[in-house]
Amino acid sequence: MSHNIITHAKATVEKTQSDIQAHERVARLRQAVKNAGGNLKVAQLSGIPLSTLNSYMSGRDFKLSTAIELCKICNITIEWLATGKAIPDTTFPQQSPQPVNVHMMHYGFNPTTIQAPEGYTNIPYYKISSAVYTDIITRTNVHGYCHFQQNWLDSTIPRPPNSLLALTGLGQTMEPTLRHHDILLIDTTSTQIVDGAIYTLVVNNTILVKRLILLASGEIRLMNDNDRYPSQVISTAPTESFPLPNILGQAVWHSGLLL
């Protein structure tokens, strides 16, 4: 009896250690893919379907040959991906510098009285889960403001600051690319659909964040990066039950934890 208990306990410990190692390996893969340009770019360069890559980044096992290909695309070593002990290649693509001060202000400040610190730009901020889409369109009832360094915006997101909005409360449908508490910047002047890009849009008075795929049929696929949520195909000809989506803007930057 005691031998069986010890054997079971040992197996439980080994499984727990294996689960922890798998979680850490997935976290390293997410880091590598993000630094290499993101899910879509890595999928295109590797030839791995985007939905398959997303499943790998959610914890699905993959073959050694796939790991080697991803390491080559992301410019990391297989040892670092597997164990985390080896140092990633020094030629690893560097992320764009992050804004030094992304700061949420309190709800209710009037945009005409908010003064950003010197060298910073105010960007209106909304929490999607509690926002009314008409407020976002008209930039009324702002939930707060983000301060972004103007130099960083000029070099990283060369768009007029007044075209940018900051959103959070994104839900789970775009994981692992975007997570619920990430800050997402959208460019409200970019409403022309670029195949495979991520957009914030309004469908049936609901604010959604989706990857838009242009189909040969002329239809549009509203794609979720999280495979647990099915994609939806809509026609470019609106119907009474499903009107043509109102695109609020294209996602141009996001900030969030890798884990």
Asked if 222 and 208 touch (Cβ cutoff 8 Å), the reply is: yes
In angstroms, the CA 214 to CA 16 distance is: 43
Which class does domain 2-83 fall in?
mainly alpha
Alpha-carbon distance of 241 to 227, in angstroms, equals 25
Kindly report, residue by residue over 18-58, the tens digit of the pLDDT. Answer: 556 777 888 888 888 888 888 888 888 888 888 888 888 88
pLDDT recorded at residue 9: 42
Cβ-contact 81, 92 below 8 angstroms: no
- Asked if residue 120 lies in contact with residue 147, where contact means CB atoms within 8 angstroms, the answer is yes
Q: Where are the domains of the chain?
A: 2-83, 120-255
Token pair for residue 182?
């990430």
Give 122-154 pLDDT, tens digit per residue: 888 888 877 777 888 778 888 888 888 888 888
Alpha carbon distance 92, 89 (integer Å): 5
pTM: 0.57
Average pLDDT, integer, range 72-79? 80
* 3-class DSSP state of 116: coil
* C-beta of residue 33 within 8 angstroms of C-beta of residue 69: no
Q: Which CATH code is given to the segment(s) 120-255? A: 2.10.109.10
On the CB side of 249, CA atoms within 13 Å amount to 19
Give residue 191's pLDDT.
87
Share of the chain above pLDDT 90, in %: 10
